[in-house]
Amino acid sequence: MTSARSFALHTLAHATLLTVTALSAHAQDQKLERVEITGSSIKRVDAETALPVQVIKREDIAKAGVTTAAELLKNISAATANLGDGASITDNTGGQRGFNGANLRGIGVSSTLVLLNGRRLANFASPGDAAGVDLNSIPAGAIQRVEVLKDGASAIYGTDAIGGVINFITRQDYQGLDVSGSYFGTQEGGAGKKTFTLSGGVGEVARDGYNVFATLDVQRLDALRSTQRKFIQERPLAQTVPYYLSSRPFPGNIRLSGTAATRTAQLAAINAAGYTINGKGYTQRTINLFAPGCNPPASVYAPTQIGAEACGYDYMADTEIYPEAEKTSFLTRGVLDVGGGHQLFAEALLARAQTTYVQSPNPTTLSGVTWAAVNPFLPKPVNDTRTFEVRFRATELGNRTNEVTSDARRVVVGAKGTLFGDWDYTAGASYAQNQVKDRYTDGYFKFNELLQAVKDGKVNPFGASPAAGQALIQSLRIDDVARKGEGATSGLDFKITGTLAQLDGGDLGVALGAELRRETQKFTPSALLVGNNIGGDRDSSGTSPALVATSYGRNIASTYAELNAPVTKTLEIQAALRADHYEKVGSSVNPKLGLRYQPARDVVLRASAGTGFRAPSFSELYRPTSYGTSPAFLYDKVYDAFDQYPTQKVSNPNLKPEKSRQFSSGVAFEPVKDSTVSLDYWRISKTNVISDLSGKIILENAARYAAYIQRDPVDGYPTLILKKENQGGLKTSGVDVDARWRSAASEAGRLGLNFSGTYVIDYKRQFGPAEPYLETAGRFLQDQVIQRWRHRLSADWDVGPLALTLGNSYFSRYIDDSYLPDTAPRKVKAYSLWDTSGSYKFSKQFSVRAGVQNLLNTAPPFSNQSYYFLSTFDPTYTDPRGRSYYVSLNYQLR
């Protein structure tokens, strides 16, 4: 049932749409141009269509100081909980480090369609929780503009675009030479960046009959360690979220026998050896013979959480929060006019992103260790023959380091022109491929051999090992490409557009199109991964089936038709119908209907409705089971402890497709000269949502979800089964606001204001067909936060060769993700970042831009969230780099 609050907001949104039409009676005439906008295949004479589209131009991107497609997403208010580098460090997507993905409306990376010049790219190849285009493969230096279709389930591009479409459009018909470079540095150090872009083009199609354009974009990004940020140092886990401390420190904790009688005898032997803690003998099961000193700042004494006789580990004191990366992309595009109204075109893309992720040393558990083996490393020997478990950080083996290389390739060839007098056609063939290699370069080790080395007394789990042990440790280090993924999308497409008849309002336009695609995905684990012998990436039980190489493919056939009917001078109907057939999944037919009403030259009212369909990805259907631990710390009532519990990520070949319904209505108008304002209400509902339950939800409802928990028969220690399922539904709605104004040119210059904001009315999740819907707007739940309000505001002033910009990105406060039992919810503060930049054009050829990001040096607000490895803040929307400075130089020769 709709709440009174939501009903009021719905009513307000619709009432506003009707009211604003009265505000624009005195607007000025506009010169209209014939354009084609993302969301429709039919060219028209007005950019305001029945569907809401946000256009971000090249100069807007430069003014914001962003240099990558992933950074750009933070300035799109409709995008939330994107998968960026900070979240990717966590690898909570299951084997997909290195993946940067877009997430419109917060309904999933897999439900956001990313295009390059209107055509698909290959998805990130490494199998995991998300299926989408890696934004690292988008050539940032070649982007001319970005068009964001905020209305979901595109009947033109693919009904899997439930959240919407982001179309990156590169330069077209460019001539001349363009050289630019930039340097980006942070006030506190780390996370620096250098970029270089070289672009060139020759030929003008209209004059010379051809054009060839190419762009080379190179970026180098430096790592950022947690020790380099004051706000991290001011939030030690022991004082802020002590329940996230790990029970695997260095020196290691000793976990005694689960049998009471045996444990009592072990404690007696320890105390007889002369060990005391705070002046008393040891009495508990988990102990550390080096407590309370431990080994700060990472290994700390936290008696209320880990135990009064043990040490805890603050992993945030020894990790990177921003990765080192090298990104190189090359794009070339050519057009040849062959006469008779026909052109041939070709496009090629090569991109490589190599990202290095560094986390704290591996949390390791070794069973069956004897006192005889570790006595040489203890202050006092313990005389006992019983075995125990050592839980420690494998510090001597280094920080866990993954080098992820993502290679993207794409070739498009085709033709376009005119047939039958005035019918335009476009035909193309494309092949796109993505290859991912996840290489373990440090911190991972041969587990069985390390276990034996500790049992043999050669390696010290409590401190520095002797020289012989150090040499042995070196031999156990792994440098292994543990995971290889390869995915490809090949396709043929054809589209024809033209006029069927003349209506009172103009041409009755029609577009007909068809597409054939072939999708493939391969996964190849290394021999060490198959052998379950990589410390830090293994099934700790050793009982599950071994990983195997997989290879899957499917054919997809689609047809669509679009009709644009200007019934009168003021009323226009846009209708589309798309039919898709996914091999091994099924077929679906999805309609789209849009209305555009223009009661005055300066007012456009619009509405649209449609349905969507997303087939399960290969990973969701067939991905081999992957093993790990919960990224941060969960509380289990049965085991009565916080811990990083073991997890198993499981695919499901019986998944059904997701289905959706979308609706939007809005208005665009010109309240004063040289201004535009738009207000759009949107609503999306999904059924058969494909997801797994988070470990937190499973453990908070342990009785209800007992099937997702495997418990140790001795002590009840849980292993969490995270299985892909059609969980239930999702319902979300909101309002987008967009406003732009430019003053008239004068001697004092020209002032411009730009505003884009999104208010989320509701966001309701259902975690199972029989479960109730939970309102999650304005709170962190499961794996993300959907803020009620987000906006981007900027003010520009141009006077002669000087241009200045002041911008603000804002994220409203929300309810935190609290893991403490029986505690009241807390609020995460609003997050507001200011940036400024200025450019000076010394000549037609040479210009300089300089700027400051995070002008006020605002730290990410504190958060309890535990879904991501990086704790005390949320890495999905915040920027830990702090105040940063950049300068860029640009030289153009035309």
* Angstrom distance (rounded) from CA 406 to CA 438: 9
Which pLDDT score is estimated for 126? Answer: 82
Q: Is it the case that residue 41 has pLDDT exceeding 60?
A: no
SS3 at position 583: coil
The pair of three-digit structure tokens given for residue 372, joined into one six-digit string: 């005889």
Report yes or no: 815 and 864 within 8 Å, Cβ to Cβ.
no
Q: Is it the case that residue 606 has pLDDT exceeding 50?
A: yes
* Angstrom distance (rounded) from CA 29 to CA 31: 7
Average pLDDT of 370-397? 96
The pair of three-digit structure tokens given for residue 381, joined into one six-digit string: 């020997």
The letter for the amino acid at 434 is N
For 490-509, write each residue's pLDDT tens digit: 999 999 999 999 999 999 99
- Give the rounded percent of residues in the chain with a pLDDT score beyond 90: 70
For 550-583, write each residue's pLDDT tens digit: 999 999 999 999 999 999 999 999 999 999 999 9
For 165-220, write each residue's pLDDT tens digit: 999 999 888 899 999 999 999 999 999 999 999 999 999 999 999 999 999 999 99
- Give the rounded percent of residues in the chain with a pLDDT score beyond 70: 92
Which pLDDT score is estimated for 641? Answer: 79
Burial of 22 (0-12, 13-18, 19+ CB in 10 A): exposed
Neighbours of 797 (CB within 10 A): 16
pTM for the complete prediction? 0.89
Q: 168, 174, 115: which is closest to 143 by C-alpha?
A: 168
Q: Is it the case that residue 374 has pLDDT exceeding 60?
A: yes
Calculate helix-pair angle for 447-455, 467-476, nearest 10 degrees: 160
Report yes or no: 100 and 136 within 8 Å, Cβ to Cβ.
yes
Which pLDDT score is estimated for 578? Answer: 95
Report yes or no: 765 and 776 within 8 Å, Cβ to Cβ.
yes
Q: Give φ, ψ of 180 to 5 degrees.
A: -145, 150
Helices and strands (DSSP H and E) totals, the chain: 14, 50
Q: Is it the case that residue 724 has pLDDT exceeding 70?
A: yes
* Angstrom distance (rounded) from CA 403 to CA 417: 46
> Would you place residue 82 in the very low, low, confident or very high pLDDT band (cuts 50, 70, 90)?
confident
Q: Is it the case that residue 9 has pLDDT exceeding 70?
A: no
The pair of three-digit structure tokens given for residue 684, joined into one six-digit string: 């999306």
Which pLDDT score is estimated for 26? Answer: 31
> Would you place residue 281 in the very low, low, confident or very high pLDDT band (cuts 50, 70, 90)?
very high
Average pLDDT of 384-391? 95
Q: 222, 230, 153: which is closest to 194 by C-alpha?
A: 222
For 757-790, write each residue's pLDDT tens digit: 999 999 999 887 778 899 999 999 877 899 999 9
SS3 at position 89: helix
The letter for the amino acid at 517 is R
Which pLDDT score is estimated for 542? Answer: 64
Which pLDDT score is estimated for 28? Answer: 32
Which pLDDT score is estimated for 582? Answer: 95
Which pLDDT score is estimated for 30? Answer: 34
Choose between 771 and 346: higher pLDDT.
Answer: 346
Q: Is it the case that residue 17 has pLDDT exceeding 60?
A: no
Choose between 31 and 337: higher pLDDT.
Answer: 337
* Angstrom distance (rounded) from CA 665 to CA 18: 11
For 230-255, write each residue's pLDDT tens digit: 999 999 999 998 888 888 999 999 99
Which pLDDT score is estimated for 33? Answer: 36
Mean pLDDT over each residue of the chain, to the nearest integer = 89
Which pLDDT score is estimated for 381? Answer: 96
The DSSP annotation for 613-649 comes to EEPPPHHHHHPPPEEEE-SS-EEETTTTEEE--EEEE
For 617-647, write each residue's pLDDT tens digit: 998 999 888 777 776 678 888 888 777 788 8
Q: 543 has which bridge partners?
A: none
The DSSP annotation for 783-802 comes to TEEB-SEEEEEEEEEEETTE
> Would you place residue 823 in the very low, low, confident or very high pLDDT band (cuts 50, 70, 90)?
low
Neighbours of 295 (CB within 10 A): 19
List the single range of 503-517, 586-600, 618-632, 847-861 with lowest mean pLDDT: 618-632
